[in-house]
Amino acid sequence: MSKPVAYSVKAYSAASATSPLAPASIQRREPTDRDVQIEILYCGVCHSDIHFARNEWHFTQYPAVPGHEIVGRVKRVGPKVTKFKPGDIAGVGCMVDADLSCPFCRAGEEQFSPTHVQTYGSTERHIGGPTFGGYSENIVVNEHFALRIPANLNLPAVAPLLCAGITTYSPLRHWQVGPGKKVGIVGLGGLGHMGVKFARAFGAHVVVFTTSPAKKPDALRLGAHDVIVSRQPEEMKAQAGTFDFILDCVSAEHDLNAYLAMLKVDGNLTIVGAPEKPLPVAVFSLIMGRRSFSGSMIGGIRETQEMLDFCGQHGITSDIEMIRMDQINEAYARMLKSDVKYRFVIDMASLKS
């Protein structure tokens, strides 16, 4: 197979770990047989984008183009594509390619495949160099990794579902959250507010843990039944040992053992936030109640489509604030201060202007 032709598109990229994001030109490939080319309409801003741009996970290649919460319009398709046609609306999350032949891919868990190609931070399989994310005019992905968007949902507010949505949906489904279960959501940010919406839609009793008493009204508005201020020892003590499942959505340093103490016997705490530094876990926090501590990332493509369809059925989207592309550095600064309710989404038409 001949190497696909590369072409230039506009983007915003970081030139180094300390430089602000700025206008740039990057290379995309022409679609191969199974590819779709998508004009990006909206791109969510994830905390992982900041980690990546600033090389806080120590694998970033520069120039770095973040963005893996993508909603757009299909412009071109390869000759063997059957899933989409030009004009269709499609979503792209954290993966854009894989060989699709390994056991994980065949099981619908492409996120665990050793061959999966991340939307940014991987190596482009066809033209070489790093993969570039959604802070750009368009993107080319294998059709398998493009997702159908329910027609009744607000497109800008769908974008964060492609990461924040599936990141919270997947562990809630895996641990069988539903009626009769008491579920805690730690942190009411971009991930946490989606966890609240999903846990409530699944029929669980939902409790938000937050360090800020001011977030209580919003937590209740989003669907929580109760709110615990984690800095108040008496509130924590009153509900110790009563939770079936806790989803930890915090990306900053915090005390995991305080939340493990909230679990019942055989309860589970799953972390989806990604703190920069390791967090200590005391062995007795686990063994005294046969509790378990686990992690989760995104879901596979099949589960992500299931999540989008569920959102269509229940009218679930992210709470967002729209920004222009040239406001991205300000948005990063505000995210680090938790000054957003609850997810920034870039109107990518602003990149063209």
Task: Please give the average per-residue pLDDT across 75-91, as a whole number.
Answer: 97
The more confident residue out of 259 and 251 is 259
pLDDT above 60: residue 257: yes
Task: Please give the average per-residue pLDDT across 196-202, as a whole number.
Answer: 98
The more confident residue out of 280 and 4 is 280
pLDDT at 1: 53
pLDDT above 80: residue 179: yes
Domains and CATH numbers, the chain: 6-163+319-352 (3.90.180.10), 164-295 (3.40.50.720)
pLDDT at 151: 96
pLDDT at 4: 80
Residue among 194, 182, 288 nearest 245 (CA): 182
pLDDT above 80: residue 123: yes
pLDDT above 70: residue 128: yes
Task: Please give the average per-residue pLDDT across 306-324, as a whole number.
Answer: 98
229-255 pLDDT, tens digit each: 999 999 999 999 999 999 999 988 899
pTM over 0.85, yes/no: yes
